[in-house]
Structure 1
Amino acid sequence: MTYATVMVSLAVDQPNEARLQVAGELAERFEAAIIGVAAAQFAPPLYFTDGAAAQRLIDEGETSVKKRLAELETQFRGATRNRGGHVEWRGAIDFPARHILEQARCADIIVGGGRSPAFSDAFALASSKDLVMQAGRPVLVVPDGVNWLDLRSALVAWKDTPEARRAVADALPLLRKAKEVTVVEIVERDDDRSAVMTDVTDVVAWLARQRVTATARVSEAGQGVTAAAQLEKVAGDVGAGLIVAGAYGHSRFREMILGGVTQYLINQSARCVLLSH
């Protein structure tokens, strides 16, 4: 298994340097094609207007969107000029999430940004939350402060669920390139620690058969410590530059409500995070 096509989701009027850097590194590491994708939609004003004035306003708005998308394309092509392999751009005047989710069919992995605002502008930004929960592809969330893909140490946040199993399988190309891999499960209050260690050990053995050497670890969150905080502590202990985790949603209404750990990994982690749903 490898990544033959890396897709990078870019945002209008948002920092894109970190995700471009990491997407370019991925394309180089795996000799993959790289596709830049972005979209924006003119956001009409709240006040009422009609007739010629309305049409003029729409025309001016769409011209502005086209200009910003052209600037994004220039930035993308400049960042990928020396990366080698096939380079492609797919921009559109559309709602960003809808356009990018449609293009996800041709990607093996999608690189997006982290730390999205709580109420993001659906006319200009496809949130990583939407991509993770709906794309059907692994999403590598890259915080703005990251300037390279650090694979010296990777942490697999294990939980015996379909989402976690899918995430580990999706991350195999990256885990094979990591120097150190740790598989950890955060023990919850009523968990049997020995049973949890057996589960984690099974994952380590499976990884070994996939040519990934890993170590098993079980960690308990202290009194008043959330699972997300404990996971961050373990990531710091092992010096993880990458966290691999399943993404969990608690709402049947388009998975709009994320689990606490998933929400933390998308919006607050300072590390690259590969998520699969």
Structure 2
Amino acid sequence: MTYATVMVSLALDQPNDSRLLVAGELAERFEAAIVGVAAAQFAPPLYFTDGAAAQGLIDQEEASIKRRLAELEAQFRAAIKNRGGHVEWRSAMDFPERFTLTQARCADIIVSGGQSPAFSDAFALASPKDLVMQSGRPILVVPDGVNWLDLRSALVAWKDTPEARRALADALPMLRKARDVAVVAIPEGDDDRPVAVAGVTDVTAWLARHGVTATARVCEAARNETVAGQLEKVAGDVGASLIVAGAYGHSRFREMILGGVTQYLVTQSARCVLLSH
């Protein structure tokens, strides 16, 4: 497997520099096509008028959105100039999440910005939380401030679930290029340790058969610390610049309600994170 098409999701009124840099590097490393996507929708004010005044307000706001989308296209084309292969831009007056999820069918991986814990604007931003749970594609979350795709050290947050297996397979092209790979399991209790050891042993053997040399590590069971806190410590210990993990939701009816570790990975600001659901 390789990445033949990289998609980068851009946001209005938010920094896009880091995700553009990483998406460009990703396309260049894998000689992939790169597709930029952006969308925004007019958000009517709380108190809305009618008649000619209303239409004038709508026309003014839509013209502003079109100008900002054109500016994003120019930023995208300047950032990925001379990187990768085929270059394409797609934008629309639409809800960003809906538009990006539709366009995801053409991509192998989607690069998105990180997200703060604060409420996000659904009219101007395709949230990485929604993308990872609904796109059917791996999402590479790039925090603001990251200025290159550092694959020297990668951490695989292993849990014996379909989501983690999917993430591992989706990350394989990047893991093949990493210098150091650590497969880490954090058991929920002491009784789970033998199962965790067997799991990371199998995973490192599987990676070896795919040309990736990895080390296995099983942490102490979480007691007075969250799993996210333990994961952060391990990532610091191994110097990981990339974390690979499955994405989990708490609700079958509202999958965008993320689990604690997934929420942390989407909002942390230090490392790129590849998530799959």
Q: SS state of the match for residue 38, structure 1?
A: strand
Give the letter for the 1:203 counterpart.
Answer: V
State whether structure 2 residue 35 is matched by structure 1 residue 35. Answer: yes
Percent identical among aligned pairs is 81
RMSD: 1.1
Alpha-carbon separation, structure 1, partners of 2:222 and 2:167 = 26
Give distance in 2, aligned partners of 1:160 and 1:180.
22
TM-aligned CA deviation for residue 78 of structure 1: 0.3
Structure 2 counterparts to residues 111-260 of structure 1, below 5 A: 111-221=111-221, 223-260=223-260
Seen in structure 2, the aligned counterparts of structure 1 residues 122 and 260 have a Cα distance that, compared at 3 Å, is same
Q: Deviations over 1:93-125 (max 9, x none)?
A: 100000000000000000001133521000000
Q: Aligned partners of 2:179, 2:86: CA distance in 1, in Å?
A: 28
Distance verdict in 2 for CA 1:84–1:193, change over 3 Å: closer
User: Would you say the 8 A contact 1:113–1:128 is kept in 2?
Assistant: yes
Q: Which amino acid aligns with 1:196?
A: A
Deviations 1:115-137 (A, max 9, x none): 33521000000110000000000
Measure the CA separation in 2 of the matches of 1:232 and 1:49. 50
Determine the C-alpha separation between the residues in 2 that align with 1:90 and 1:140. 19
When normalised by structure 1's length, the TM-score is 0.98
Question: Is the Cα–Cα contact under 8 Å of residues 221 and 230 in structure 1 kept in the other structure?
Answer: no
| 8 A contact 1:116–1:127 mirrored in 2 | no
Q: Match of 1:87?
A: 87
Q: 5+ unaligned residues in a row in structure 2: which ranges?
A: none
The offset of 1:222, in angstroms, is: 5.1
Deviations for 1:178-218, whole angstroms, at most 9, x for unmatched residues? 00100000121254312211111000001111111101000
How far the C-alpha of 1:223 sits from its partner, in A, is: 3.6
Aligned CA distance change for structure 1 residues 185 and 98 (closer, same or farther; 3 Å): same
Rounded to whole Å, the distance in 2 between the matches of 1:84 and 1:106 is 16
How many residues are matched? 277
| Kept after mapping to 1: 8 A contact 2:6/2:109 | yes
What letter matches 1:14 in structure 2? Q
Displacement after TM superposition at 1:84 (Å): 3.8
- Counterpart of 2:241 in structure 1: which amino acid? G
Question: C-alpha distance in 1, partners of 2:63/2:6?
Answer: 29
Residue 149 of structure 1 aligns to a residue whose secondary structure is coil
Distance in 2 (alpha carbons) for counterparts of 1:94 and 1:81: 27
Shift of 1:82: 1.8
- Aligned-partner Cα distance in 1 for 2:84–2:264: 34
Question: In the alignment, which residue of structure 1 is the partner of 2:50?
Answer: 50
| 8 Å Cα contact 2:188-2:222 kept in structure 1 | no
> Which amino acid letter does the alignment assign opposite residue 3 of structure 2?
Y
1:50, distance to aligned residue in structure 2 (A)? 0.7
- 1:59 maps to 59
Distance 2:215 2:263 in 1: 26
CA contact (8 A) 2:40 2:92 kept: yes
